[in-house]
Amino acid sequence: MQPLGVTWRKFASNLRRTQPISYIRRTVKVAFSDKYLFYTNVTISVSLSSVGDLLQQSYEIYTKEQNNYDFKRTMHMAFSGAAVGVLCHHWYKILDKIIIGKTTDMIIKKLLLDQLIFSPIMITTFFGSVAIFEENPLENFKEEVNDKFVTLYRAEWMVWPPAQLINFYFLPTRFRVLYDNTISLGYDVYTSQVKHSKQFKSVPIDLKSKETH
């Protein structure tokens, strides 16, 4: 038999190793349970939208485009993340209820519905939720949709079809928003750049100028 002191030290060492893991597992289980899933998904969306904007602002500060962090802007992006999180939570539940199965046909149907229906709704919601905090919100919303919608929608087609293949085929419904937001972190940086940069606005065509050449 081993001395009591040695046995206790081994037990304490094992306890220290297992307690954090057990705590994390319990936390994840509760957070992604049906009871709390909505709040978890919204929190994830808010957090990663904020991080994405802060990363973009860090780059803008590095390139001297701005001097300091604009935390009000980050709060606006966080609100947008909350709106998008609510939509994503319900969208994936509806999508998995109306299209059941993981055959190739089912996955393609989900991808098409996601890109053709939900992506435009998400982009419009993004511009609308941020415009609420701006002067002349309706006018700004219309202008930004006209100027920047196509830019973001084109980027959606580059990013999400391959990413959603994994999402729809391998992951259960409760983890879809978490995966979505993890992949979306880089896209959120780009979204913040498009939203707050004038270079993405379409340039109006001067027909009179063209006629004179």
Report in angstroms the alpha-carbon separations of 185 from 97, 169, 213: 27, 21, 45
In a domain, 7, yes or no: no
Q: How many residues does the chain have?
A: 213
If you ran DSSP here, which 8-state letter would residue 198 be given?
Answer: G
Query: How many other C-beta atoms can be found within 10 angstroms of the C-beta atom of residue 160?
Result: 21
Instruction: Give the predicted TM-score (pTM) of the model.
Output: 0.77
Domain count, the chain: 1
Which pLDDT tens digit goes with each residue over 139-190?
989 998 998 999 889 988 988 999 999 999 999 999 999 999 888 887 777 7
Percent of the chain with pLDDT over 70: 83
In a domain, 75, yes or no: yes
In a domain, 77, yes or no: yes
In a domain, 132, yes or no: yes
In a domain, 89, yes or no: yes
